[in-house]
Amino acid sequence: MSCTKLGQRLSLYVDRMLSPWARRRVEAHLSRCNECAQTVREIRNLKVAAAAVPDPTPPDGFWERIYAGLPEEPERAPTIRPSFATRRAAILWVPAVVATIVTAAFTVLPRQQPNPDADIQALVVEHASYRAQSPLADRGRLEFVMAQVSQDAPEEQ
């Protein structure tokens, strides 16, 4: 693994968020690369220093001023009910819009015309190969052959 490919993995390595396989690859790289090993040491030192910084405390009266600026009860948004005319218009316009979209889709979208010659030719080829494999499988053909055989057979006396 090269240093350029290591990128964010060093921070993930320090945070122990890599899979075991990726962790082994990073450790193998760190054993050969002093620069990346130094970067890992710096990341660890930075994490220790950041953890040592105390949480900031707000100045006196900070939260009281925040709470004083808030209203006692949150305002409710006004309820907007559509008028009868709006609902009637929606009832009339929605089907018209849907019908227009469907019509436009069928008008604009290209239709692929079937090629009847190709379909018939494919069926003829498929039928010929089927008949070549089993010439008597076709019931009509079988009945025709049986009728021929019975006509050609000498009558028993």
Compute the average pLDDT of residues 86-115: 76
| Structural domain contains residue 17 | yes
Evaluate whether residue 37 is within a structural domain: yes
**Global pTM exceeds 0.75:** no
Q: Considering the domain boundaries, does residue 11 fall inside one?
A: yes
The answer to the question of residue 128 being in a domain is no
> What percent of the chain shows pLDDT beyond 70?
70
Q: Residue 131 domain-assigned?
A: no
Domain housing 44: 3-52
9 touches 22 (CB < 8 A): yes
Our count of domains for the chain comes to: 1
Grade residue 31 by pLDDT with cuts at 50, 70 and 90: very high
Within a domain: 113: no
Asked whether residue 157 is assigned to any structural domain, the reply reads no
Per the domain annotation, does 35 fall within a domain?
Answer: yes
Are residues 39 and 9 in contact, defined by beta-carbon separation less than 8 angstroms? no
